């Protein structure tokens, strides 16, 4: 599943970020309206915009509201919680692919062929999305390619879509006139991704944060964590995580993840403190 955010600064995307990073691991799936107002102060959202955003997401099935002791609480629905599961699954898979990316590559490509496939079948679009999520690239019609050997994932697809006789996986060194880097550039948007990573790092380099313990808790860390985390996540979803040996020498994808991780470790303690102060009132 490819995860998208309708609008980067939307109330619901910010609120889901708060739940995902700070609350769900503590079993908190509801928050009173008055504390939603407080939590979102650093994002400069007025009460009218917040109420409209919450109402919209009730209609979209992401939230429900209930009264407790004359106070309105907003609860995450199963639909919202499932979106977190997809997010976690995506992040876990990307972490796994990053380990592959940093490992030695033997120069062998895994090639997936779909034989006599019917593009009109209901599952076709879903199958293509799954192959993209698994970081396969489209080499030719019904031919997909990856530098990584993941037979268990392919076996799962064969069973799920009943393609035992129509889906084949084999390995090849692909002795073509193209270098592995040239081949990768033809299949995946390497140049565009490289530009996005470069722009991300340029933007990240402008962040100045002072972690002085005497600084008052005003939640300034939250917009930084949200904005830069979301931007990086959207790039990472599109990144095929190809082996370092295949990528251009000036590739900055790994550096971008490293820099954000460093910033995140500085911001999280104060952000947690800000959230805890509000929830503890």
For residue 14, tell me if it sits in a domain. no
Name residue, tokens 């019609």.
Answer: 141
Contacts of 99 (CB under 8 A, 6+ apart): none
Which of helix, strand or coil describes residue 99?
helix
219-278 residue pLDDT tens: 999 999 999 999 999 999 899 999 999 999 999 999 999 999 999 999 999 999 999 999
Helix (H) or strand (E) holding 63: strand 63-68
55-102 residue pLDDT tens: 999 999 999 999 988 999 999 999 999 888 878 888 888 888 889 999
- Predicted confidence at residue 5, as pLDDT, reads 44
- Predicted confidence at residue 217, as pLDDT, reads 65
129-176 residue pLDDT tens: 889 888 999 998 889 999 998 888 888 888 888 888 888 888 888 777
Q: Which pairs from 74-81 meet CB under 8 Å and 24+ separation?
A: 74/30, 74/31, 74/32, 74/33, 74/36, 75/29, 75/30, 76/19, 76/29, 76/30, 80/16, 80/19, 81/24, 81/29
Domain tally for the chain?
A: 2
Pair (155, 222) in one structural domain: no
Q: Give the domain-ending residue among 116, 138, 172.
A: 172
Name residue, tokens 């490992």.
Answer: 103
Which one, of 17, 11, 10, lies nearest residue 224 by Cα?
Answer: 17
Which one, of 82, 79, 35, 31, lies nearest residue 59 by Cα?
Answer: 79
Pair (194, 235) in one structural domain: yes
For residue 100, tell me if it sits in a domain. no
Pair (196, 274) in one structural domain: yes
For residue 182, tell me if it sits in a domain. no
DSSP structure class, residue 20: I
For residue 270, tell me if it sits in a domain. yes
For residue 97, tell me if it sits in a domain. no
What CATH number did the domain enclosing 143 receive? 3.30.70
Q: Is 43 a residue whose pLDDT tops 90?
A: yes
Pair (256, 211) in one structural domain: yes
For residue 131, tell me if it sits in a domain. yes
Domain hosting residue 217, numbered range: 188-279
DSSP structure class, residue 42: G
Q: Is 2 a residue whose pLDDT tops 50?
A: no
Which one, of 270, 258, 193, 280, lies nearest residue 224 by Cα?
Answer: 270
Pair (208, 131) in one structural domain: no
Helix (H) or strand (E) holding 117: none
| Sign of the CA dihedral with 199 first, then 249, 239, and 176 last | positive
Which of helix, strand or coil describes residue 45?
coil
Pair (227, 275) in one structural domain: yes
Task: Provide the token pair at 86.
Answer: 């997809």
Measured CA to CA, the distance from residue 93 to residue 82 in angstroms comes to: 17
Q: Which residues of 191-203 are buried (b: 16+ CB within 10 A; e: fewer)?
A: eebbebbbebeee
For residue 244, tell me if it sits in a domain. yes
Pair (253, 199) in one structural domain: yes
Q: What is the pTM of this model?
A: 0.86
């Amino acid at each position: 599943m490819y995860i998208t955010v309708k609008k980067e600064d939307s109330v619901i995307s910010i609120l889901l970020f708060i739940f995902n990073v700070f609350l769900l691991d503590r079993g908190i799936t509801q928050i009173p309206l008055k504390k939603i107002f407080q939590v979102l102060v650093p994002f400069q959202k007025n009460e009218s915009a917040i109420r409209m955003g919450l109402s919209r997401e009730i209609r979209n099935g992401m939230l429900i509201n209930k009264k407790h002791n004359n106070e309105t609480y907003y609860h995450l629905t199963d639909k919202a919680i499932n979106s977190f599961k997809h997010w976690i699954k995506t992040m876990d898979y990307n972490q796994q692919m990053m380990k592959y990316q940093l490992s030695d590559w033997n120069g062998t490509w895994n090639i997936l062929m779909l034989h006599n496939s019917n593009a009109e079948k209901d599952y076709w679009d879903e199958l293509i999305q799954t192959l993209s999520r698994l970081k396969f690239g489209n080499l030719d019609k019904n031919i997909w390619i990856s530098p990584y050997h993941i037979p268990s994932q392919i076996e799962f697809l064969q069973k799920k879509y009943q393609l035992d006789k129509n889906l084949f996986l084999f390995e090849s060194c692909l002795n073509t006139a193209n270098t592995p880097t040239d081949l990768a550039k033809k299949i995946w948007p390497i140049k565009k991704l490289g530009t996005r990573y470069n722009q991300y790092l340029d933007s990240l380099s402008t962040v100045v944060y002072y972690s002085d313990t005497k600084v008052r808790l005003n939640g300034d860390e939250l917009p930084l964590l949200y904005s830069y985390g979301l931007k990086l996540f959207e790039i990472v979803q599109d990144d095929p995580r190809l082996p370092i040996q295949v990528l251009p020498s000036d590739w900055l994808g790994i550096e971008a993840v490293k820099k954000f991780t460093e910033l995140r470790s500085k911001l999280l303690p104060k952000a947690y403190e800000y959230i805890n102060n509000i929830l503890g009132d």
